């Protein structure tokens, strides 16, 4: 037997060899990991085997992010610019300065804004640190008075906006997946769940893979056959932005051809029986204002919650309160009749026969009427689901599309029951020893509609920044936020703070202030926002801009001062798993893990959470008290024994310890989590499959949006804000997007982006391990072009091309020919094309897609403000361009 000559250098003294439990920081899923540290040097990343979330494994970008701890290109000291000229590719002439000088300069600028009008502060955060942002920067922004201006990423560019709102409305959650342990038929509409993208990535990869191996049929409706499409049982290429037509045609097939639906679900879990009058509003009981339904047994109208109702009528036409009225479900059936598979096929390019077949397979797979017994509890069994996310959300018809897709789950009763679509986590009884955090949906007493759950509930952390889902927030005059978000009740992130027409919109909205200080936490808007002309205009017009960042990224070309932030491997973040979307789906155990430093911040790097109180105090000692006050509120400490005393001072560790003990008891403070990593406890069936546990309904007919639309218009129109108000409708329609209206035959291709498994945001490309994997992948750094189309254009693999939009914007890249892409589409992976010389590994890799995008009110969804992230283009070889 050959000896194993792999033994270590014997002269080396091992002073320390340990594993530190923490969480990954490369996307917002925050998967539990452990990092091996030898003699103070981090040498390996693994998934934490104690966590049910990712069961000891983590994706390549998590493992490959180890280099962030030792990258010689990290920013190590505060710097200020010496070149007053700001712009893309212009060297700021960085000069190292002390922390005191940096913070005093920033504090002075912030003090001016704080005293004058705090709404002049624009905070942007890095979405991959969403939780840390929420619990640390959130309270700062609240205390300062600029919380409504805070946004993650590029104002909805990477955000789910409509998808989050609908997930809250229907599932009481932030995000949507399927119950992969039981699902047999899953349709992905533009959603990469299961491919290290989106929420709960760690568990989703495992769950979806196991479901595939078990035989779950996966249908991917996607222009690209790469991640989801590439693994799916069936890939259905589609023209970008047309998914609503397919979903509505499927509804038509199910409701009017097959004529099968989950009767019990429609009657008791939705507003399907609610009577709707000719004015599109509910017909209501005059004394209680409760919506009326028709009791088919007694033949009379009653309030929806009348205990004497014999049978809810959901079909037919009735008369109540002297008006002709129709049950909402009947309206839905009638509404979708015009969406024939042939019509949808013409719009989407998906064959009519395929749409019809998928619809029939879907409803058949749902096994309506069947039950399953899990842990002794008999539950409806609906093993079919339709899920969606960013792909369909990146268009001007986002809200209507998301709603159309989710109606598929509602008509078959596959929502939060075994095998069906599932929001998570909507209901939780808390850690058994403390009963915290506890949250669950309730019903609105007037309309019976579901409210609450995790993100959309009244609970503190994160959720405290949101409002209860029901009743849906009223629009108010928009002058309190740069994104005009208060005018649009569905908005999570608005692009109006940086849109090309922002000045016009601010003027119309009557904003009495403009952004004066931009405080940026790791966001890279020049790469993740819209075209660079626009971003340059926005950032250069803001008088003072500063960033916390780990690299001198492209954003910093617009900064006056950059502060060296600690990376995730140097950061303490106690509530990484409070957000819910990074908790486990289905019956897997609850688990909660903190992020802790694997190494102390080197050089002069400092953790953002430690800088903020320092900064607050330099601005105004009272602001520090307000910061503590906001933390007490948002962390749920107020009134309890762990509340921060506003007259004391706390280290970040002390604050974290209080927050953790408040939830998990005296035995489970910071030290416990540092040592043990994951705190787990079993989940109960009623926490997961809660739909029939709680007597609450969700809308298949969105009456609220009729009122919402009316109220938005009442505020917008007198101010001259005109948008496509037609999209505020109670039953979803397909609306063409700007990309579908480009008539010139020269611009013959749709350009889109997709999420590559190796990349999130713009920092992953600077990690050598991830970069080497990316170069090994034929698609990651190249633009995918349909092989037949490319050949017709005389293009071959590896050619350098220009991609030019119908508005004359250009970007360049190299191409990879593929059969797995719609002939009318070209696709870019992720956000690439770095040009900062301070990120040499990332420099020049891939193509910069976002520079092609327009951003103004005509390129946003008028309902959710999701913005159009596809564009019509032509492509040609680089040497064919005179200016190339």
Partner 1 sequence: MARWGMVIDLQKCIACYSCMISCRQEHFLPAGVFWNRVMVTEQGAYPAVHKINLPVLCNHCEEASCVEVCPTGATSRRDDGIVMVDYDKCIGCRYCLIACPYQQRTFLDGMKEHFPGQGLTEYELIGRQLYPYQKGTVVKCNFCVERVDEGIKKGLKPGLDREATPACVIACPAKARYFGDLDDPDSEVARLIREKKAAPLHPEFGTEPSVHYIAH
764 to 783, contacts with partner 1 by CB under 8 A? 768-770, 772-773, 776-779
If DSSP codes are grouped into helix, strand and coil, which group holds residue 236?
Answer: strand
Contacts of 440 (CB under 8 A, 6+ apart): 426, 427, 428, 452, 453, 690, 694
Residue 12 touches partner 1, criterion: CB under 8 A: yes
57 in contact with partner 1 (CB under 8 A): yes
Contact between 458 and partner 1 by CB under 8 A: the answer reads: no
Reported for 115-118, long-range contacts at CB under 8 A and 24+ positions apart, including other chains, are 116/516, 117/512, 117/513, 118/144, 118/145, 118/146
CB 588, min distance to partner 1, A: 13
Min dist CB 436 to partner 1, Å, is: 30
Report the run of H or E that residue 544 belongs to, with start and end.
Answer: strand 544-549
User: How does DSSP classify residue 574?
Assistant: T
Whether 521 and 547 have beta carbons less than 8 Å apart is answered as: yes
DSSP string, 852-884: G---SGGGB-TTT--B---EEEEEEEGGGSTT-
Distance CA 209, CA 356 (A): 27
Q: Which is nearer to partner 1, 549 or 771 (CB)?
A: 771
Q: Quick check: 603 binds partner 1 (CB under 8 A)?
A: no
**Residue from 130, 205, 461, 615 that binds partner 1 (CB under 8 A)?**
205
Burial of 117 (0-12, 13-18, 19+ CB in 10 A): middle
Q: Point out which span in 100-108, 261-269, 399-407, 817-825 binds partner 1 (CB under 8 A).
A: 817-825
Give me 751's structure tokens.
């350009």
Considering the rule CB under 8 A, would residue 64 count as an interface residue with partner 1? yes
How many chain residues are in contact with partner 1, going by CB under 8 A?
78
67 makes contact with partner 1 (CB under 8 A): yes
Least separation in angstroms between residue 63's CB and partner 1 is 4
Q: How far is the CB of 23 from partner 1 (least distance, A)?
A: 15
Residue 785 C-beta: closest distance to partner 1, Å: 12
Classified as helix, coil or strand, 697 is strand
Q: How far is the CB of 13 from partner 1 (least distance, A)?
A: 10
| Binding flag, residue 378, partner 1 (CB under 8 A) | no
Smallest gap from residue 49 Cβ to partner 1 (A): 6
**Radius of gyration (C-alpha) of the chain in whole angstroms:** 27
Nearer to partner 1, 66 or 706 (CB): 66
CA dihedral 705, 707, 713, 718 (to 10 degrees): -160
Cα separations in angstroms, 551 against 130, 377, 492, 524, 720: 18, 53, 27, 11, 42
- Shortest separation between residue 56's beta carbon and partner 1, angstroms: 6
User: Does 42 help bind partner 1 (rule: CB under 8 A)?
Assistant: yes
The count of residues in the chain is 884
User: Of 49-57, 425-433, 452-460, 825-833, which segment contacts partner 1 by CB under 8 A?
Assistant: 49-57
Query: Can residue 845 be called a binding residue for partner 1 (CB under 8 A)?
Result: no
- H-run or E-run covering 608: helix 608-619
> Helix 621-634 to helix 608-619 angle, to the nearest 10 degrees?
130
Which of 701, 779 has the CB closer to partner 1? Answer: 779
Site string for partner 1, 329-368 (x = CB under 8 A): ----------------------------------------
Cis-peptide into 437, omega within 30 deg: yes
Q: Is 46 among the residues that bind partner 1 (CB under 8 A)?
A: yes
Stretch that binds partner 1, among 66-74, 242-250, 405-413, 468-476 (CB under 8 A): 66-74
Please select the residue that binds partner 1; options are 106, 136, 196, 616, rule is CB under 8 A.
196
Residues 704-763 contacting partner 1, CB under 8 A: 757-758
Q: Could you say whether residue 206 binds partner 1 (CB under 8 A)? A: yes
43 binds partner 1 (CB under 8 A): yes
Among 21, 25, 32, 47, the residue binding partner 1 under the rule CB under 8 A is 47
> Binder to partner 1 among 20, 27, 63, 110 (CB under 8 A)?
63
Q: Does 6 bind partner 1 (CB under 8 A)?
A: yes
237 sits near partner 1 (criterion: CB under 8 A): yes
In the complex, least distance from residue 24 CB atom to partner 1, rounded to whole angstroms: 11
DSSP string, 739-752: GGG---TT--EEEE
Smallest gap from Cβ 251 to partner 1, in A, equals: 24
Candidates 86, 111, 231, 357; binder of partner 1 (CB under 8 A) is 231
Q: For partner 1, which residue of 840, 844, 879, 884 counts as binding (CB under 8 A)?
A: 840
Q: Is residue 223 near partner 1 by the rule CB under 8 A?
A: no
Among 61, 81, 335, 755, binds partner 1 (CB under 8 A): 61
Which among 274, 244, 712 is positioned nearest to 490, based on CA atoms?
712
Pairing of β 185-189 and β 176-178: unpaired
Tokens of 324: 């002709």
Distance CA 817, CA 795 (A): 9
Which segment (54-62, 311-319, 711-719, 857-865) binds partner 1 by CB under 8 A?
A: 54-62
Query: Given candidates 130, 166, 187, 236, which one binds partner 1 under the rule CB under 8 A?
Result: 236
Confirm or reject binding of residue 212 to partner 1 (CB under 8 A): yes
Binding flag, residue 76, partner 1 (CB under 8 A): no
- Nearest partner of 447 among 419, 421, 469, 478, judged by Cα: 469
Out of 9, 16, 279, 648, the only residue in the binding site for partner 1 (CB under 8 A) is: 9
820 binds partner 1 (CB under 8 A): yes
Asked if 819 is part of the footprint of partner 1 (rule: CB under 8 A), the reply reads: yes
d(CA 424, CA 172): 8
Smaller CB separation from partner 1, 230 or 277: 230
CB of 54 to partner 1, least distance (A): 6
Compute the distance between CA of residue 753 and CA of residue 408 in angstroms, rounded to an integer. Answer: 26
Please enumerate in sequence order all residues whose Cβ is within 8 A of that of 109, keeping only pairs 6 or more positions apart, or say none: 516, 517, 544, 546
Residue 129 near residue 416, CB atoms below 8 Å? no
Among 549, 703, 787, 804, binds partner 1 (CB under 8 A): 787
96, 104, 210, 334: residue in contact with partner 1 (rule CB under 8 A): 210
Work out whether 646 is an interface residue with partner 1 (CB under 8 A): no
Residues 559-598 that bind partner 1 (CB under 8 A): none
CB contact at 8 A, 802 and 812: yes
Cis, peptide link before residue 570, omega less than 30° from 0: no
Q: Is 59 in the site for partner 1 (CB under 8 A)?
A: yes
CA-nearest of 881, 884, 810 to 847 is 810
Decide if residue 194 touches partner 1 (CB under 8 A).
yes
């Amino acid at each position: 037997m050959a000896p194993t000559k792999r033994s270590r250098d014997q002269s080396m003294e091992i002073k320390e060899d340990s594993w530190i439990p923490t969480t990954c920081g490369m996307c917002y899923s925050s998967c539990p990991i452990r990092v091996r540290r030898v003699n103070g040097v981090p040498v390996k990343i693994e998934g934490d085997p104690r966590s049910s979330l990712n069961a000891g494994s983590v994706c390549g970008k998590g493992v490959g992010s180890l280099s962030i701890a030792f990258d010689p290109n990290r920013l190590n000291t505060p710097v200020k610019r010496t070149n007053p000229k700001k712009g893309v590719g212009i060297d700021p002439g960085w000069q190292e300065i002390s922390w005191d000088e940096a913070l005093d300069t920033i504090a002075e600028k912030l003090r001016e804004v704080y005293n004058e009008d705090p709404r002049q502060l624009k905070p942007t955060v890095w979405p991959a640190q969403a939780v840390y942002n929420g619990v640390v920067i959130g309270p700062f922004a609240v205390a300062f008075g600029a919380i409504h201006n805070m946004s993650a990423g590029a104002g909805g560019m990477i955000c789910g906006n409509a998808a989050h709102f609908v997930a809250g409305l229907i599932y009481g959650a932030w995000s949507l997946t399927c119950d992969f342990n039981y699902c047999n038929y899953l349709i992905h509409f533009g959603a990469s769940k299961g491919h290290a993208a989106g929420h709960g990535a760690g568990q989703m990869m495992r769950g979806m893979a196991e479901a595939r191996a078990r035989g779950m049929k996966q249908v991917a409706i996607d222009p690209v056959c790469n991640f989801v499409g590439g693994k799916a049982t069936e890939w259905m290429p589609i023209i970008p932005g047309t998914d609503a037509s397919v979903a509505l045609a499927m509804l038509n097939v199910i409701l009017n051809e097959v004529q099968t639906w989950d009767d019990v679900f429609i009657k008791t879990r939705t507003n399907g029986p609610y009577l709707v009058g000719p004015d599109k509003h509910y017909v209501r009981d005059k004394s209680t204002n409760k919506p009326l339904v028709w009791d088919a047994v007694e033949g009379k109208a009653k309030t929806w919650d009348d205990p004497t109702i014999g049978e809810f009528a959901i079909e037919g036409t009735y008369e109540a309160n002297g008006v002709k009225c129709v049950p909402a479900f009947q309206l839905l059936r009638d509404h979708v009749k015009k969406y024939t598979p042939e019509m949808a096929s013409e719009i989407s390019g998906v064959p009519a026969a395929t749409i019809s077949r998928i619809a029939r397979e879907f409803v058949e797979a749902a096994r309506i009427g069947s039950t399953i017994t899990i842990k002794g509890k008999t539950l409806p069994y609906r093993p079919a689901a339709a899920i969606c996310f960013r792909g369909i959300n990146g268009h001007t018809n986002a809200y209507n599309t998301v709603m159309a897709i989710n109606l598929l789950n509602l008509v078959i009763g596959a929502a939060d029951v075994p095998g069906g679509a599932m929001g998570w986590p909507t209901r939780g009884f808390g850690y058994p020893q403390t009963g915290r955090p506890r949250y669950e949906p309730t019903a609105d007493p007037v309309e019976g509609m579901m409210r609450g759950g995790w993100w959309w509930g009244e609970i503190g952390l994160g959720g405290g920044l949101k409002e209860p889902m029901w009743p849906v927030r009223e629009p108010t005059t928009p002058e309190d936020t740069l994104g005009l978000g208060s005018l649009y009740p569905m908005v999570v992130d608005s692009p109006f703070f940086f849109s090309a027409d922002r000045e016009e919109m601010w003027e119309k909205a009557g904003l009495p202030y403009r952004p004066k200080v931009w405080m940026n936490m790791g966001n890279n808007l020049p790469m993740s926002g819209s075209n660079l002309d626009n971003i340059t205009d926005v950032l250069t017009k803001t008088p003072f801009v500063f960033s916390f960042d780990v690299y001198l990224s492209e954003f910093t070309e617009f900064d006056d001062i950059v502060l060296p932030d600690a990376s995730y491997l140097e950061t303490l973040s106690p509530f990484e798993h409070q957000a819910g979307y990074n908790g486990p789906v289905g019956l897997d155990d609850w688990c909660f893990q903190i992020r802790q430093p694997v190494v102390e911040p080197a050089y002069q790097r400092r953790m953002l959470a430690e800088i903020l109180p320092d900064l607050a105090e330099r601005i105004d000692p009272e602001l520090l008290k307000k910061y503590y006050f906001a933390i007490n509120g948002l962390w749920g400490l107020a009134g309890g024994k762990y509340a921060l005393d506003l007259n004391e001072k706390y280290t970040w560790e002390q604050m974290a310890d209080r927050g953790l003990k408040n939830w998990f008891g005296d035995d489970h403070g910071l030290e416990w989590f540092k040592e043990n990593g994951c705190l787990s406890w079993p989940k109960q069936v009623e926490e997961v499959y809660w739909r029939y546990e709680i007597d609450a309904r969700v809308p298949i007919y969105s009456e609220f949006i009729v009122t919402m639309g009316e109220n938005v218009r009442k505020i917008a129109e007198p101010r001259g804000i005109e948008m496509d108000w037609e999209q505020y409708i109670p039953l979803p329609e397909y609306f063409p997007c700007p990309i579908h209206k480009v008539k010139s035959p020269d611009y013959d291709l749709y350009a889109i982006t997709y999420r590559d498994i190796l990349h999130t945001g713009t920092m992953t490309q600077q990690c050598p391990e991830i970069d080497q994997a990316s170069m090994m992948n034929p698609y990651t750094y190249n633009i995918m072009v349909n092989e037949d189309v490319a050949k017709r254009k005389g293009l071959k693999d590896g050619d350098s091309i220009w991609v030019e939009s119908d508005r004359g914007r250009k970007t360049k890249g190299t191409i990879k020919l593929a059969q797995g892409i719609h002939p009318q589409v070209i696709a870019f992976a992720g956000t690439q094309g770095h040009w900062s010389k301070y990120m040499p590994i990332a420099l020049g890799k891939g193509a910069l897609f976002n520079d092609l995008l327009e951003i103004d009110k005509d390129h946003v969804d008028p309902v959710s403000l999701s913005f159009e992230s596809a564009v019509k283009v032509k492509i040609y070889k680089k040497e064919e361009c005179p200016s190339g």
